[in-house]
Homo-oligomer: A and B are copies of this chain.
Amino acid sequence: MHPIGEVARRSGVTIETIRYYEREGVVPLPDRSASGRRLYDSAGIARLRFVKRCRDLGFPIEDIRALLALSKGDSKACSDVKLIGERHLRDVRDKIADLTRLEAALADLVAECDEQRPHCPVLRQLFAD
């Protein structure tokens, strides 16, 4: 059984975030020592690693909750995981598309400022009706 500091180092999740995940019910309450310190077994560490990887992939907490539930062994797991993954992939692709459009608009706008001018074309455009 391992204290939270060691678990933080081994999982890559900060102590404060581990406590946050516990409060939010993302991970179960760990065992405690006689003095009240959190003690995690290897399954607890693996679970936090899982959560970290999912967060790194941009899955929201709610999806991670669902994935963890699915990981508890059920014959439909893989197709459900695929549903969650594909929806998230779509979200990511949408976001990339949005940002790409935004980038183009911004690049055009910024290109109009190329010297010191009393009447900035960018500001004029942003103020236009």
Task: Give Cα A117–Cα B103 distance, bound, in whole angstroms.
Answer: 41
The distance from the CB of A112 to the nearest CB of chain B, in whole angstroms, is 9
User: For chain A, what secondary structure do more than half of its interface residues adopt (helix, strand, loop), or is it mixed?
Assistant: helix
Residues on the B chain within 8 Å of A117, using CB: 77-78
Name the CB-closest residue of B to A75.
B118
Report the interface size for chain A: residues with CB under 8 A from the other chain: 49
Q: Is the C-beta of A1 less than 8 angstroms from some C-beta in chain B?
A: no
> B118–A77 contact, CB under 8 A?
yes
Residues on the B chain within 8 Å of A103, using CB: 89, 92-93, 96
> B113–A67 contact, CB under 8 A?
no
Q: Quick one: which of A67, A76, A102, A126 has the most chain B CB within 10 A?
A: A126
